[in-house]
Structure 1
Amino acid sequence: MLPVTIAGLAALGVAAIGGTITDLGPWYEGLNKPDWNPPRAAFPIAWTTIFALAVIAFVSAWRKSPSTKVSDTLIGLFAANAFLNIVWSLIFFRLQRPDWAFFELILLWVSILAVIIYCWRLSRFASLLLLPYLVWVTIAGALNWEIVQLNGPFG
């Protein structure tokens, strides 16, 4: 029960911090966006689903960890990913630097892939649960790139 509680609280914390940092005010609304930009309502639905799946994936992989070293590595990978997730929002929305955020998003994408690969050894189910996260961040990366192309230079 403890891993479920900790993972759930961590996901809520990341979501709360990211939500607090995300400002969809005049600056963001004033950006030119591609025609395929997802509707505003898609974002909270997608992120809620992704965080819920990530909690289930973490718990599934953690329970199959054969040693403390493996579970500690798993925790570290998820924590690094959470940090990168928050930093992207900070760079994009607070610093208003989509150009820098795009390059940080590449690190975020690689961290998701690393978690998926690491989890695969422990729980294929966990890895599969993380695929929507990778897909969503891939879409976010394409959107971020298009925003840079349509609105740059920044700073």
Structure 2
Amino acid sequence: MNNIKNNLLKSDETLDDLQIKNIKIIQKSNGFRFGMDAVLLANFAKVKKGMRVMDLCSGTGIIPFILAGKTEAEKIFAIEIQEDMVEMGNRSITYNNLENKINIIKGDIKNVKMLKNFDKFDIVTVNPPYKLKNSGLFESR
């Protein structure tokens, strides 16, 4: 790994090989890591050549990275509310040179005004967090 790519990885993170076109994703060593549900969802989505995709509740962007490796989507957008996840996802984009393919932004999917600023999409995926009521990061606002 060259110095630029090496600087993208922090000491408490891992660089995990997705086994798809040499794409790797940065994740915390301890804490949230993508699961089989996200892999299944990405493989369930029927993305055809030239399609525009939006992934909601994206975390570090596992679904966009799988789709970028397995499909010919034109562009894949992702929205995630947690700044640290967005930041890791964006470092993974840089690591994999996918700036022209994937765009992860920080945002709340409940913000209708923000969502209306996007163009239309051919496919929308979402793998929301599942927790008991009032047990998540943003307990009753």
Larger fraction in helix: 1
Larger fraction in strand: 2
Structure with the greater alpha carbon radius of gyration: 1
